[in-house]
Amino acid sequence: MGAVLSRRTVLHVRSVLTAPVVAGLTLLALLAVPGCSDLRVKEDIYTNLEDAKASGAIQAGWVPAALPPGAADLREGHLPDGRHWGVFTFTPGDVEPLRALLGSEITAAPPECDAPGRLEWWPQLLRTPIDLERLKSTGFRLYTERGGARAFAINWGQGRAYYWRT
């Protein structure tokens, strides 16, 4: 014989099942709020340093003004608060001008780097926490910017450099 449910029982069951669903959706929404900075990140790609200059990216501070003249294949991402991340390639002829931009090599306590997830070109290896030994094993060296607030990760053998300011 089937059970007969009253309207009150049905409403109670519906409210019990709804409360966890609402709580779960609320929790998901709260967890997503810190990730909203990803939505504010702006990205640009430049063929060379002249393109970056013409777009205003150097004047805005998203691309370092002192990059070597042969810097190419530049990508940068930035947030409204001034944090920015970038990558470029350089030639063997650019090594000395690039070294002039750098301060000392970072051999302990690497700076934090919390690049937004939307920057798909940013390597996992350069996301906090940065493992210096692992970084070195891939050919990268980490440097401060001479007289500046950026960090640079440079693979001299591949002619590729990443920079960030957080």
10 Å CB burial of residue 48 (0-12, 13-18, 19+) is middle
Reported confidence tier of residue 67, pLDDT bands at 50, 70, 90: very high
- Confirm whether 2 is domain-assigned: no
Over residues 26-53, mean pLDDT: 71
- In this structure, are 12 and 77 located in the same domain? no
Of residues 129 and 6, more confidence is placed in 129
Q: What is the pLDDT of residue 104?
A: 96
- In this structure, are 136 and 55 located in the same domain? yes
Query: Taking 50 as the threshold, does the pLDDT of residue 22 lie above it?
Result: no
- In this structure, are 119 and 146 located in the same domain? yes
- In this structure, are 67 and 111 located in the same domain? yes
- Confirm whether 51 is domain-assigned: yes
What's the total number of domains in the chain?
Answer: 2
Reported confidence tier of residue 5, pLDDT bands at 50, 70, 90: low
Q: What is the pLDDT of residue 166?
A: 81
Q: Which domain holds residue 156?
A: 41-165
User: DSSP readout, 74-91?
Assistant: EEEEE-TTS-EEEEEE--
Q: Which has the minimum average pLDDT: 15-24, 33-42, 112-121?
A: 15-24
10 Å CB burial of residue 151 (0-12, 13-18, 19+) is buried
The sign of the dihedral angle between the CA atoms of 12, 16, 21, 24 is positive
- Confirm whether 146 is domain-assigned: yes
Over residues 9-19, mean pLDDT: 51
Of residues 6 and 111, more confidence is placed in 111
Q: Give residue-wise pLDDT tens across range 71-124.
A: 999 999 999 999 999 999 999 999 999 999 999 999 999 999 999 999 999 999
Q: What is the pLDDT of residue 13?
A: 46
Q: Give residue-wise pLDDT tens across range 116-160.
A: 999 999 999 999 999 999 999 999 999 999 998 999 999 999 999
Of residues 1 and 151, more confidence is placed in 151
- Confirm whether 60 is domain-assigned: yes
Residue 81's Cα: distance from chain center in Å?
A: 14
- Confirm whether 114 is domain-assigned: yes
3-state secondary structure of 152: strand
Q: What is the pLDDT of residue 148?
A: 87
Pick the closest to residue 64 from 54, 47, 76 (CA basis). Answer: 76
Pick the closest to residue 117 from 130, 106, 103, 127 (CA basis). Answer: 127
131: left (phi over 0), alpha (psi -120 to 50) or beta: beta
